[in-house]
Amino acid sequence: MPWNSGGSGPWGNPPGSSGGDGDNKPSGKPIPGPWGSGDDRGSRRPGEQSGGQSGGSSDGGPERDQRPGSQVGSQGGGGQGGGGQGGGGPFGGGPFGGGPFGSGPGGPFGGGPGGGPDLDKLIDQAQAFIRGILGGGFGGGRGGSPGGGPGGLFGYFVSGRGIGLILLLLAALWVGSGFYLVQPDEEGVVMRFGAYSYWTPPGLHWHLPWPIETVSQPTVTRINRTEIGFRSGTALEPGGDVLAESQMLTGDENIIDIDLTVFWRISDAAAFLFNTANPEGLVRAIAESSIREVIGRTPIQPALTQLRAQIESDVRKQTQEILDRYKAGVEITQVQLQKVDPPAAVIESFRDVQRANTDAERMRNEAEAYRNDIVPRARGDAARVVAEGQAAKAATVAQATGETQRFNSVLKAYETAKDVTLRRMYLDTMKDVLSHSQTLVVDDKLKGLVPFLPLSIPPPLKATPRATPGAAPAPAAAASAGGIQ
């Protein structure tokens, strides 16, 4: 029999069982309390030795139950586990016996007159309360007799109905563990016994609980960044160049230092999880191989200047083709050349050459601009001169043709009537000459003066000069001036 039989407490005996004396005879009064009434027999714990008689004591006398291993005198005290009356409180007289936590008039915590708190009794009562909740004393009293099974909350749970309820709760928790939430930037990949089964879009879903099915939720919309030739610094690890990745040979066998950044995202979540063990390492290795191949067929000077965009496009295309052959589930979104320089030891010389090439290119552009300005103007002037010459030619030819035709007509008239033609020609000539000459009037009555006749008077002369008074005109001079009136 575990521990000992007693009253309704964990250490008491039921009526008719062994009591508190050495012969295990009944010897006491019933004890009211939360755990029922029992006889006031003194209880005996394993290892105790009791005296000749265990009497009930309502005031918790000096002789009371001891803990296992102690010895009890000829008369045992009345506590929760022993004989005697404790009163009507939950653990004896008063709230916890005679007084707030003890029995007798000795003070607020019990004990003898003027004594301190009865700590042993408080510990016994706390142990009895806990054991009463868990199982009615684990084998003693009404709720826990050896033949009746454990009682209390523990006894309910170890019963058939309690075990069924526990199993039902565990099954509900197991089934509920299959619910999972896929975020908007994720895809759910469900695996059945470790093998790919199906994928799920964002939202709330359920899968067969572990260990039948498990789910992985990779982020498929995030743009990942892989650096080649350098590493960005962090708070814990400084960055810098990685020469083993950045230095490579160009098509004309020069060394060049290139830093490259590859941006990629997950395009197929299942392929990303199951076809590659280290996706970022795979992207790094393939991109590094691609840039080395592209630079290996490109001369250094174009690589430093005008072919940067073409190099980025070729590297992205070649890297994507290799990843697609591997079925890595990765899409390359962009490739950026961060730095394209010669080695540090000769970078200044290369920059001098680059500056000279820049100046040459600038001068070529300026010369081309001057050519584009002057050539059209020269061509315009040449076309104008040619057009003017053509016009002068046409005018001269037309004039000569007209003169020829006029001469031929005069010739025909002359051959027909010579005298008439000659007179007509004379009259036309005189008309033409006299129409452009100036008329001078000379008074022949003037004597003694020699008239002065201007021989070169620019036509037209509107004012006729006055003759010198007293001058006589010369007939011959007047005739030579264009006529005499």
Instruction: Write out the H or E segment, with its range, that includes residue 334.
Output: strand 330-341
For residue 297, give the amino acid letter: R
Percent of the chain's residues with pLDDT above 70: 61
Residue ranges in 139-209 assigned as alpha helix (H): 152-157, 160-176
Tell me how far apart the alpha carbons of residues 100 and 94 are, in angstroms, rounded to a whole number. Answer: 6
The residues, any chain, with a CB within 8 Å of residue 463's CB and separated by 6 or more, are none
Task: Report the pLDDT value the prediction gives residue 306, as an integer from 0 to 100.
Answer: 84
Q: Taking Cα atoms as reference points, which of 190, 189, 220, 198 lies closest to residue 331?
A: 220
What does the domain layout of the chain look like in residue ranges?
1-157, 179-216, 224-342, 364-435, 437-485
Task: Report the pLDDT value the prediction gives residue 485, as an integer from 0 to 100.
Answer: 35
Structural contact between residues 286 and 262, judged by C-beta atoms closer than 8 angstroms? no
Q: pLDDT tens-digit profile of 341-352? A: 888 888 888 888
Tell me how far apart the alpha carbons of residues 216 and 270 are, in angstroms, rounded to a whole number. Answer: 9
Identify the residue whose tokens are 């290369």.
350
Structural contact between residues 139 and 12, judged by C-beta atoms closer than 8 angstroms? no
Give the residue-averaged pLDDT of 65-81: 39
How many CB atoms within 10 Å of residue 426? Answer: 10
Using 50, 70 and 90 to split pLDDT, how confident is the model at 368? very high
Q: Which CATH number fits domain 224-342: 3.30.420.40, 3.40.1050.10, 3.30.479.30, 3.30.70.141?
A: 3.30.479.30
Would the CA dihedral through 28, 33, 35, 36 be positive or negative? positive
Q: pLDDT tens-digit profile of 287-340? A: 999 999 999 999 888 888 888 899 999 999 999 999 999 999 999 999 999 888
Neighbouring C-alpha atoms within 13 Å toward the C-beta of 31: 41
Identify the residue whose tokens are 């290139």.
258
Task: Report the pLDDT value the prediction gives residue 220, as an integer from 0 to 100.
Answer: 83
How far, in whole angstroms, is CA 72 from its chain's centroid? 80
- Length of the chain, in residues: 485
Q: Which of 19-28, 228-237, 305-314, 360-369 has the highest mean pLDDT?
A: 360-369
Q: Which of 97-101, 270-274, 290-294, 466-470 has the highest mean pLDDT?
A: 290-294
Q: pLDDT tens-digit profile of 400-418? A: 999 999 899 888 888 888 8
Q: Taking Cα atoms as reference points, which of 323, 337, 316, 215 lies closest to residue 266?
A: 323
Using 50, 70 and 90 to split pLDDT, how confident is the model at 371? very high
